[in-house]
Amino acid sequence: MYCQYLQKTEEDLRKELMPDAEKRVKSRLIIEAVADAEDIQATPEDIDSEMAAMAKQYNMEVDKLKSLFDAENSKYLIQDIRMRKAIDFIYDQAEIKEPDTAAKDETQE
């Protein structure tokens, strides 16, 4: 039905979405590798802080929210925290350099 709405075949839609999907998967794998290599973990404090933020967002008590989390949900929450901490680590380690003006001038010619 969605394909009909877009007036595309399923194959055309797959071809259109594939490059972006591949990029997201590769990025995720790289971030996971950094998290593993740097032994980045979600601490109990990280989990409590995230739970408090989520409870506030949904206007509910933290204990009520925690009671709704099963093992699978907790696993996803921990993984999400690890990924965000890995991204923060990457940004903190990045060296930002100004573009070389000579190289910039050559590309404009």
Kindly list the domain boundaries of the chain, sorted by start residue: 2-93
Sign of the dihedral defined by the CA atoms of residues 24, 29, 30, 34, in that order: positive
Write phi, then psi, for 25 (nearest 5 degrees).
Answer: -65, -45
Residue whose token pair is 């690890």: 82
With bands split at pLDDT 50, 70 and 90, how would you rate the model's confidence at 10? confident
pLDDT of residue 108: 59
End-to-end Cα, the chain, rounded Å: 49
Q: Is the pLDDT of residue 99 over 90?
A: no
pLDDT tens digits for range 12-66: 889 999 999 999 999 999 999 999 999 999 999 999 999 999 999 999 999 999 9
Q: Which two tokens stand for residue 60?
A: 């509910």
In the CATH scheme, what is the homologous superfamily, with its name and number, of domain 2-93? Trigger factor, C-terminal domain (1.10.3120.10)
